[in-house]
Amino acid sequence: MQQIINGLMIGFMYSLIAIGLTLIWGVMNIVNFAHGDFLMIGMFTSFWLFTIYGLDPLFSIPICFLLLFVMGVAIYRFIVSKVMKGPMLAQLVVTFGVSIFLSNLAVYLWTPDFRLISSTFFQGTWDMGDFNLSKPKAIASMGSIITSICVFLFMKKTKIGKAILATEMDRESALLMGINTERINSISFGIGAALVGVAGAFLSTYYYIYPQVGGLFGTIAFSIVALGGFGSIEGAFIAGILVGLAQTLGGFFFDPAYKYAIVFMIYLITIWIRPKGLLGW
Amino acid sequence: MKNFTAKPITIAGAVLALLLIFPLVITQTFPIHVMILVFMFGMLGVAWNIMGGYAGMFSFGQAAFFGIGAYTSSYLLIAFQVNPWIGLILGGLVAALVAAAIGYPCSNLRGHYFAIASIAFSEIVRIHFNNWSLVNAAEGITIPMMPESLANFMFHSSKLPYYYIIMAFLLIAVIVCYIVATSKMGYYFRAIKESHDVAEVLGINVVKYRLIAIMVSAFLSAMAGTFYAQYILYIDPESVMLGAISIQIVLISMLGGAGSVLGPVLGAAILVPLSETTRVMLGHKGTGVDMLIYGFLITIISVYQPQGVWEWFTRIGKKIK
């Protein structure tokens, strides 16, 4: 029971990270290898706001959202949009460059040390009888569910959201319908980055903060996105939860050292059977 | 006509001669060490190029094959006293078999999906070796000292033999790549790269040729792995299977020019000395500046020169014509 709860809680976190990634992937067919590093920037932002101004990570969420949005748009405008028409390999490698740059910038500025936010509003655990519920983790899970629902509503209800979905389905038709697809691209990249920034703020309440933290989460997010289906927000949400569960249960029943190997194994098996992912089309 | 074909050969001969003399003229250890790494990464780049540059399968997991090669020969050497040269071949075969086993289910994956599958695969391999007690898990393997000789693939007094061995390996890889590129198979590879579906419709056995490309690439990468083990004399999963190695291999090939026989060698000749010297000069404090510059360069290159610098040479070559 405890394992299932833990799995669910990390799963919701994964979902939020993966939704940002799947949005970028679906709209412009770019794999953002710097996604994990955006997460790291979000975590560090919330860490420094806490350390310097004593701002609780939960309040730094809007700041993370805005900061990462601006960063995402800037990276799209100045770097990614330039390779969109270039060879496939350049599209794959360019975000790797950004990733290496960002994570080492963090090493340079803040040293490779591990950090932890020591005291936040929500501390300790709730005793639920059969199992314990860690307060920061529970709050973070709630937060990522709410954020995911917001994204979902945003995509379905607002004009920009619908335009993003239309671009994702068929770029040329969207362009013919008068949608500025170039603008949609930069907005989607911004939102994708902003979402992972929010995830970073939530994650910073209980996870270690260090420059290379993005690598692991980024790689897992790819597996989730591909598992859920390319560009599918619902798919990413469900797959995130599945992966969280698989990771903790797999670690519990087999060997904790192999928990990430299990995640990657699931990914490989899924794409073998369904190359476009669970909810892909 | 004869004049034009002779020209590249003369240049190639001159470069080769220079490289042969190089370690005799410059005898410091560091430049020779850097050159050895250039050759090794050049070889890995050429191997990547066969599957990535020609057949269009962008692998970000080559370190797995490199590591499998290093581990197979080293394990056979300590457990069964198998000669490293036999280990070299066996390591290549093991890597090729693993490549076939993983490549077959992945044979329908394209572009991004293949790239991410290759990352997932190499991570699984790395995690497994980190926990596999048969090969000493995370502790790694120290290659036992043996008397210095070519037969033992071990030299203590000088780096020179290593230099010539890896240069020969690189030559082998280049020749293999050249044969593949100019044969009928090379055209099949390029057809598959351009369009998987069209190639299939034209009657090319896509799965078969993709598997061949992956296996050849894995074999050559594993050879480089065995060389690395015999040269450094110590391996662990973090030094031979790290994702960073895979990425460096891709970058080298891309910088030099994916899809050209010598592009990756050129890429290695530029990137390896750069990263080695920045590491020595700037990286001693662990401040990450060397990697910072590296990341910046990669971004710039993919934006402004995504075809690689080899293209410049061919352009100059055409002008001379």
pLDDT in tens, B64-91: 999 999 999 999 988 888 888 988 999 9
Q: Break chain B down into helix, strand, coil percent, rounded to 5.
A: 80, 0, 20
| Beta strands, E only, A225-265 | none
pLDDT at B285 over 70: no
- What ipTM was estimated for this complex? 0.79
- pLDDT score, position B203: 79
Q: Is the pLDDT of residue B112 over 80?
A: no
pLDDT of residue B2: 43
How many domains, in total, are found in chain B? 1
B72 lies in some domain: yes
Q: Does A108 touch chain B (CB under 8 A)?
A: yes
pLDDT at A144: 84
In a domain, B256, yes or no: no
Residue B181 lies in a domain: yes
Is the pLDDT higher at B271 or at B108?
B271
Per-domain residue ranges of chain A: 2-113+137-211
Q: Please, are residues A212 and B243 in contact by the beta-carbon 8 Å criterion?
A: no
Cα A183 to the center of its chain, rounded Å:
22
Check: CB of residue A89 under 8 Å from CB of residue B55: no
Kindly provide the b/e burial profile for residues B14-28, where b requires at least 16 CB atoms within 10 angstroms of the residue's own CB. Answer: eeeeebeeebeeeee
State the pLDDT at residue B41.
93
Written as six digits, the tokens of A43 are 């975590």
Contact state of A268 with B117 under an 8 Å Cβ cutoff: yes
Report yes or no on B54 lying in a domain. yes
CA distance B88 to chain A (A): 28
Instruction: Report if residue B289 sits inside a domain.
Output: no
Question: Given this model, what pLDDT does residue B286 score?
Answer: 57
Cα separation, B117 vs B191, in Å, equals: 22
Per mean pLDDT, which of A4-8, A191-195, B159-163, B282-286 is the most reliable? A191-195
Q: What is the pLDDT of residues A53-102, one digit of tens each?
A: 878 878 888 899 999 999 999 998 888 888 887 777 788 888 888 888 89
Q: Out of B9-13, B122-126, B256-260, which region has the weakest mean confidence (pLDDT)? A: B9-13
Chain B neighbors of A220, CB-CB under 8 A: none
pLDDT grade for A121, boundaries at 50, 70 and 90: low
Q: Report, as an integer, the average pLDDT of A186-198.
A: 91
Q: Is A253 strand, coil or helix?
A: helix
CA angle B207, B209, B211 (to 5 degrees): 70
Query: What pLDDT band is residue A155 in, cutting at 50, 70 and 90?
Result: confident
For residues B113 and B110, what is the distance between their CA atoms, to the nearest angstrom? 6
Query: Which residue range is the domain that position B216 belongs to?
Result: 29-241
Maximum average pLDDT range among A129-133, B86-90, B194-198: B86-90
Is B298 part of the contact surface with chain A (CB cutoff 8 Å)?
yes
Are A87 and B306 an interchain contact pair (Cβ–Cβ within 8 Å)?
yes
pLDDT tens for each residue of B11-39: 778 888 888 888 778 778 888 889 999 99
User: Interior CA angle at B45 toward B42 and B46, to 5°?
Assistant: 90
pLDDT score at A50: 87
Q: How confident is the model at residue B321 (pLDDT cuts 50, 70, 90)?
A: low
Do β-strands A132-134 and A125-127 pair in parallel, antiparallel, or remain unpaired?
A: antiparallel
Residues 149 to 208 of B: which have CB under 8 A from any A CB? Answer: none
**Cβ within 8 Å of residue B77, ≥6 positions away:** B83, B84, B87, B143, B144
Task: Average the pLDDT over each of A131-145, B12-26, B184-198, B285-299 and give the range with the smallest value.
Answer: B285-299
pTM of the model as a whole: 0.84
Q: Determine, for residues A31 and B116 on separate chains, whether the beta-carbon distance falls below 8 Å.
A: yes
Residue B44: its pLDDT value, please?
93
